[in-house]
Structure 1
């Protein structure tokens, strides 16, 4: 069965999610209280609806409890975000992802049952900061407060070494889960696979361990 999604709040964040989901070929209901924003998605989403999602009866009439995943991407109106999330839980929506404005907002959302809370502005800031601070970091994805997945570019120090030569798991407590070389990607590389200068290493582990690995074995491209 194909999954159905609903996106509530069609600002930059919600609108971007809506378009990407549609591009991936899934059914999406786009919802906002603004007629103008909904109009912009009338020819993009499967359904585009003007609605006040803080009203439980409205949510029931839209049939949102039958959707697999609802994303609450309401912008600066924290009260509406919280009330919408609470109402979605009340009607029995299976999985809810909510955009948080700050840590306090996140605490409230988690207490009322949000399944996933995201901080798009904060997370993007962290990713950009990591890129700025290191010439080796191409991308950075936070998994938790202390663990991440990072894309690192291999320099001269790693050229010609295999994963077993580097012994990164024992020495640094991290794992190289994939190696990208040009358009090719080697998922779950073997311990004997050699690394070449310019390879992109996809590394997973604790932030402190990844930082030690980068400082000890990575160098300028």
Structure 2
């Protein structure tokens, strides 16, 4: 059976996430306290309902405990976000993901046992800053406090080099885990793979390793 998701809070972040999950082929229940917001997503999501997520009986009536993952995407009401997350853990939802507005908000959610905490505004700010600092940086995703995955377009000066010649692992400690080309993607490329200036390298390493590589090789 395909996974079932519930998204609580259908503002910009929540509705975007819910729509993308639908596009990926999953069943999605959308929950919001605004009738107008719910009406906009009726017919787009698997189901959209008006409910107070801080009411445990309302959550039980929706069968929230049966969902594989529930995302708390409540906007600016930190109290409701915390109370909703607490009730979801009490109802033994398998996986609870919550949007945090501040570091303190995130710490509280973490103490409550929320499985994953996301900081959309902070993370987007970090990604945009890195993209502005390096024109060849297409995307930048922190996967932990130590490791980052970065997408870098191959500059002309590296075109024609093999990964063995580039020798990223030995020189910088980071690794090319994929090469995106116009018509194909090479996962776990070999040392003999040749880079072209139309390629995109997907690199994993810690922040400093990737910065050091960018400074020396990226135009």
CA distance in 2, matches of 1:75, 1:106: 14
Question: Residues 103-146 of structure 1: CA distance to partner in whole angstroms, max 9, x if unpaired?
Answer: 00000001001100001111111111111111110111111223
The separation in 1 between residues aligned to 2:78 and 2:177, in whole angstroms, is: 38
Structure 1 counterpart of 2:201: 201
1:55-97 Cα offsets, whole Å, 9 max, x none, are: 1111111100000000000000000000000000001100011
In 2, Cα distance between equivalents of 1:36 and 1:93: 27
Residue aligning to 1:96: 96
Distance 2:107 2:183 in 1: 41
CA shift, 1:148, in A, is 0.9
Whole-angstrom distance in 1 between the partners of 2:198 and 2:210: 18
Q: Is 1:122 equivalent to 2:122 in the alignment?
A: yes
Structure 2 partner of 1:33: 33
Match of 1:186 in 2: 186
In structure 1, the gaps of 5 or more residues are none
TM-score, length of structure 2 as denominator length: 0.97
C-alpha separation in 2, matches of 1:168 and 1:134 = 18
Deviation at 1:26, TM superposition (A): 1.1
Pick which of 134-143 and 106-115 moved more: 134-143
Unpaired stretches in structure 2, ≥5 consecutive residues: none
Matched with 1:158 is: 158
Coordinate RMSD, CA, aligned: 1.0
Count of residues in Structure 1 that have an aligned counterpart in Structure 2: 219
Q: Mean alpha-carbon deviation: is it higher for 58-67 or for 138-147?
A: 138-147
